Amino acid sequence: MPRTFRPRLTVVAALLLFLPPLEAAEKSSAYQAALSSISASELGNEVGELADVALEGREAGTAGGHAAGEHLAEQYKRLRFAGAGPEGGYFQPFAPNFRNVLAVLPGSDPKLRDQVIVVGAHYDHLGYGGRSSLGPYGYVHPGADDNASGTSAVLEIAQAFSLLPSPPKRTVLFAHWDAEEKGLLGSKYWVANPTLPREHVAAMINLDMIGRLRENRLNVYGVGSGAGWRRLVSLANEEGLHLAFRYDVSNRADHHPFYATGIPVVMFHTGMHDQYHRPSDAAQLINKEGLEKVARLVFAVAYELADGTASPAFRTATPVDPESPLTGKPVDRLGVGWNDDAATAGGVRVTLVKHDTPAERAGVQTGDLIVRFAGRDIRCDADFFATVSSAESPATVTVVRSESPKPVDLKVELVGDPLRWGFTWRVDEAETGAIILTHVVPGSPADQAGLAIGDRVYRVAGRDFADETEFARLVKTSAESLQLLVERDGRVRHVPLRARLSETIRRAA
């Protein structure tokens, strides 16, 4: 098969060490203590209490639902949080006999404390069944995952905030919605009757079913609703979770009423299971260690939103993942097809010279064996890919021909810019200060460093960049090595690229 420039799968040994983002080290020890106060055992105990048969499945408006609300209010009282209900208490009642549980941590910065970050989860479930039960009916539906898991995480995160020596700059509202299972009634009611100024809500985090972490995989929904969500969540992901980002915003969860009024939202969710909306959604099936990881990640995200420089700017979410399609095929700089002839002849054999291309103009012929290009010996495919893509123009190509006793040097005027590091990119519409790799040249420094199509770059040489122009400038001005902060599946790591071809380029220039 003749080869032309096209993406191919490259398998590179995973030399990439997972390293936590730089901020981790910079955060204070008080922050670290608060973070590590979030524990699997406390979360597990709380899920156990909420899912206990005594609360009868926490259906909104029932005795069990009311008892669950009392229990939550008591926890906030114990933590000395102020209530954020309409009268300053913990409850926000609404018809017929439902109630949200609300507590607030006022921000510490006089200029920023008006802004509110909402961390919420619904605490109601299905009681003994009802219309949305998948059966069997007549038994307590404990709703351990749905949503004792999210409820206990909100409490545990609130407790972690309470351990900080001073609150974050912005205000945090901890919200436990009632009657979610009856049609998002609690969250809709709050949005229609906000107890803090709704126009000051900068972001909303929704936790719904986060107790069944499997294979370290966490779904993150709605990242399309705010510019910068994915970057912010990834940089906070010190737990090393595999994050599956979704850009659309479903209208079937409590974050939707917030989104509908122009607030950036994000929802965490560990995925569906066979016990969903059944009496078998029990506490013993909760992955407590997984719940701890998710709750710690959410605390880190909430803290960054509450204390960081900025929160994501609202944008209308696209149902389409901006990663698809990735069309980053670089220009064909030379215009040949070839076979790797490394084993028999030691070079690449030209099988095709395309019409009206640099190769044709330079006099390259079908059957030529290319042994040297731009001052570099060509032994195999990867050499050739990497060299052609990174060479300055004009370049000298050395070919061996059967009719000629000596190798022939040809001067070729390459088209397109040299890809020094061996990757092409485009901007991510949903994120400022991030680019997405659209092509990685086999054998290039980027390939050798293990980079792949779809990887996102957030920093160059330890520095943020504002836009594509600044990114391009930082990449161009790096000489011998290039330090990138790269994200893949929500995991961030430092990737050093080494300019192995620099000598070649200098000689050719």
| Residues at the site binding Zn ion, with contacts judged by CB under 5 A | 146
The Cα diameter of the chain in Å comes to: 96
Counts of helices then strands in the chain (DSSP H, E): 14, 22
Closer CB to Zn ion, 283 or 369, in the complex: 283
Dihedral (CA of 138, 139, 143, 145) sign: negative
Closer CB to Zn ion, 150 or 264, in the complex: 150
Total number of residues shown for the chain: 509
**Shortest Cβ distance from residue 126 to Zn ion (Å)?**
7
Which residue has the closest beta carbon to Zn ion?
146
**Shortest Cβ distance from residue 132 to Zn ion (Å)?**
7
Question: DSSP string spanning 205-262?
Answer: EEE-S-S--BTTEEEEE-GGGEETHHHHHHHT-TT--EEEE--S--SSSTTHHHHTTT
**Shortest Cβ distance from residue 127 to Zn ion (Å)?**
12
**Shortest Cβ distance from residue 145 to Zn ion (Å)?**
9
What are the phi and psi torsion angles at 66 (to 5°)? -65, -40
Residue at token pair 């998710």: 294
Closer CB to Zn ion, 182 or 217, in the complex: 182
Three-state secondary structure readout of 162-196: HCCCCCCCCEEEEEEECCHHHCCHHHHHHHHCCCC
Closer CB to Zn ion, 51 or 397, in the complex: 51
Closer CB to Zn ion, 52 or 146, in the complex: 146
Closer CB to Zn ion, 181 or 487, in the complex: 181
Task: Give the H/E segment covering residue 23.
Answer: helix 23-26
**Shortest Cβ distance from residue 272 to Zn ion (Å)?**
11
**Shortest Cβ distance from residue 124 to Zn ion (Å)?**
9
Please state whether beta strands 201-207 and 265-269 pair in parallel, antiparallel, or not at all (unpaired): parallel
According to DSSP, residue 374 is labeled T
**Shortest Cβ distance from residue 193 to Zn ion (Å)?**
23
Closer CB to Zn ion, 146 or 447, in the complex: 146
Q: What share of the chain is helix, strand, coil (3-state, %, to 5)?
A: 30, 25, 45
Closer CB to Zn ion, 123 or 299, in the complex: 123
**Shortest Cβ distance from residue 389 to Zn ion (Å)?**
52
Three-state secondary structure readout of 396-436: EEEEECCCCCCCEEEEECCCCCCCCCCEEEEECCCCCCCEE
